[in-house]
Structure 1
Amino acid sequence: MFIWIYRVLFLPLWLLTLPGYLLHIRKRGGYRKDFGTRFGRGMEVPAKRAGAKRIWIQAVSLGEMLAIEPLLKALAADERIEIYLTVTTSTGYALAQEKYGELAVGISYFPIDFYPFSARVWDKIDPDVAICAETELWPEHTRQAAKRGVPFLLVNGRLSDRSFKRAMKLRGFFRTILSNTSQVYACSDLDRERYIALGAPAERVSATGNIKVDVTIEPILDAVTRASMRAEMGLSEGFLLLGSSTWPGEEEMLVEALRAIREREPAARLLIVPRHAERRHEIEAMLRERASDLRFHFKSRGVPEGELDILVADTHGELRALTQLSDLAFVGKSLPPHTEGQTPVECGALGAPMVFGSGMSNFRSIREGLLQHGAAREVKDAAEAIEAIVELSQDADARAKMSTGGLAWHAGSRGAVARTAAGVLSWLDR
Structure 2
Amino acid sequence: MKYHLALLLYRLFLLINLPVLIIVLLIRSTKHKAYRQRLSERLGLVPAQVKPGGILIHAASVGEVMALKAFVEQVLTTYPNTPVTLTTFTPTGSEQVKKLFKDRVQHCYLPLDIWPCTTLFLRKLAPKAMVFMETELWPGLLSQSAGKNIPLLLINGRLSENSMKSYRKLSWLITPALQCFAAILPQSGQHRDNFLRLGADPKTCTVSGNLKYDISVTPEISSKQAELSRLMAGRKPVWIAASTHEGDEQLILQTYQKLCVNTPELLLVLVPRHPERFEKVHRLCLDAGLSVKKRSAAQILDSGDQVWLLDTLGELMAAYALSDIVTIGGTFSHIGGHNPLEPALFKKPVIVGHDMGNFAEIHQQFTREQAVIQLSAEKDTSTQLANQVQVLLDSPEQAKALGDNAYHIVQQNQGASSASVQTLTRLMANKA
TM-score by length of 1: 0.91
The reply to whether residue 343 of structure 1 matches residue 334 of structure 2 is no
Shift of 1:225: 9.0
Does the 8 Å contact 2:224/2:315 carry over to 1? no
**Could you say which residue in structure 2 is the equivalent of 1:320?**
317
CA shift for structure 1 position 239: 1.5
- The residue type equivalent to 2:275 in the other structure is A
Q: Deviations over 1:322-365 (max 9, x none)?
A: 11111000112111233x21111111111111011232222122
1:42 Cα shift? 5.1
Gapped regions of structure 1 (runs ≥ 5): none
- Does the aligned pair in 2 maintain the 1:55–1:84 contact within 8 Å? yes
Aligned to 2:20: 16
What is the match of residue 27 of structure 1? 31
Residues 261, 393 of structure 1: 8 Å contact kept: no
CA distances 1:283-326 after superposition (whole Å, capped 9, x unpaired): 2343233x21x201222344267441011112100011111111
Aligned to 1:213: 213
Structure 1 match to 2:276: 278
The answer on whether the counterparts of 1:57 and 1:131 sit within 8 Å (CA) in structure 2 is yes
Instruction: Report the CA distance between 1:386 and its aligned residue.
Output: 3.1
1:364 equivalent in alignment to 2:360: yes
Per the alignment, do residues 170 and 318 of structure 1 end up closer, same or farther by CA in structure 2, a change over 3 Å counting?
same
Deviation at 1:417, TM superposition (A): 1.0
Structure 2 residue matching 1:241: 3-state secondary structure: strand
The whole-number CA distance in structure 1 between the counterparts of 2:121 and 2:419 is 29
Aligned-pair distance for 1:374? Answer: 2.2
Residue 205 of structure 1 and its aligned partner are, at CA, apart by 1.6
TM-score normalised by structure 2 residue count: 0.90
Where does residue 91 of structure 1 map in the other structure? 92
Secondary structure of the corresponding residue to residue 308 of structure 1: coil
State how far apart, in whole Å, the 1-side matches of 2:253 and 2:54 are: 49
CA RMSD of aligned residues (A): 2.4
Is it true that 1:297 corresponds to 2:298 in the alignment? no
Q: 1:159 touches 1:362 (CA, 8 Å); kept in 2? A: no
Segment drifting more, 255-264 vs 346-355:
255-264
Structure 1 residue 183 corresponds to structure 2 residue 183: yes
* 8 Å CA contact 2:211, 2:417 repeated in 1: yes
C-alpha distance in 2, partners of 1:127/1:42?
Answer: 13
User: Structure 1 321/173 Cα, relative in aligned 2: closer, same or farther at 3 Å?
Assistant: same
Deviations 1:41-61 (A, max 9, x none): 25135555xxxx721111111
Which deviates further from its counterpart, 382-391 or 58-67? 382-391
* Residues 47, 323 of structure 1: alpha-carbon distance in 2 compared, 3 angstrom cutoff: closer
User: How far did 1:40 drift?
Assistant: 2.7
SS in 2 for 1:245: strand
What is the aligned length?
420
Q: Which amino acid aligns with 1:366?
A: I
Aligned amino acid, residue 63 of structure 2: G
Distance 1:206 1:356 in 2: 31
Which stretch of the first structure deviates more once superposed, 377-386 or 252-261? 377-386
Aligned-partner Cα distance in 2 for 1:397–1:362:
29
- Report the more deviating stretch, 324-333 or 38-47: 38-47
1:182 deviates by 2.1
Q: Write out aligned runs for 1:211-290 (5 A).
A: 211-219=211-219, 229-230=228-229, 232-233=231-232, 236-289=234-287
Deviation sequence 1:200-252 (CA, Å, 0-9, x none):
12222221111110111224988x9968734524x643321101111112112
Mean Cα deviation higher: 9-18 or 240-249: 9-18
Deviates more, 1:249-258 or 1:212-221: 212-221
Alignment partners' CA distance in 1, 2:225 and 2:185: 38
Mapped contact 2:25–2:35 kept (Cα < 8 A): no
Contact 1:242 1:323 in 2 (8 A): yes
Aligned to 1:107: 107
Tell me, yes or no, if the aligned pair for 2:46 and 2:121 is still in contact at 8 Å. Answer: no
Task: Give the Cα–Cα distance (whole angstroms) in 2 for the partners of residues 139 and 150 of structure 1.
Answer: 14
- 1:41-89 deviation per Cα after TM superposition (whole angstroms, max 9, x unaligned): 25135555xxxx7211111112211111111111121246431221111
| 1:363-412: CA deviation from partner (whole Å, max 9, x where unpaired) | 12221222233221111242433332222222111011112112211111
> Is residue 2:9 matched to residue 1:5?
yes
The SS at the match of 1:86 is: strand
After superposition, the Cα gap between the structure-2 partners of 1:387 and 1:337, relative to the gap in structure 1 and judged at 3 Å, is farther
Bigger Cα displacement from structure 2, 305-314 vs 33-42: 33-42
Q: Distance in 2 between matches of 1:144 and 1:10?
A: 15
CA–CA distance in structure 2, aligned partners of residues 394 and 59 of structure 1: 41
Who is 1:134 aligned against?
134
Aligned 8 A contact 1:373 1:408 in 2: no
Could you tell me which runs of 5 or more consecutive residues in structure 2 were left unpaired when the two chains were aligned. Answer: none
Q: Is the 8 A contact 1:37 1:111 kept in 2?
A: yes
Q: Is the 8 A contact 1:257 1:390 kept in 2?
A: no
* Matched letter for residue 39 of structure 1: L
Cα distance, 1:193 vs structure 2: 1.2
Deviation at 1:269, TM superposition (A): 1.3
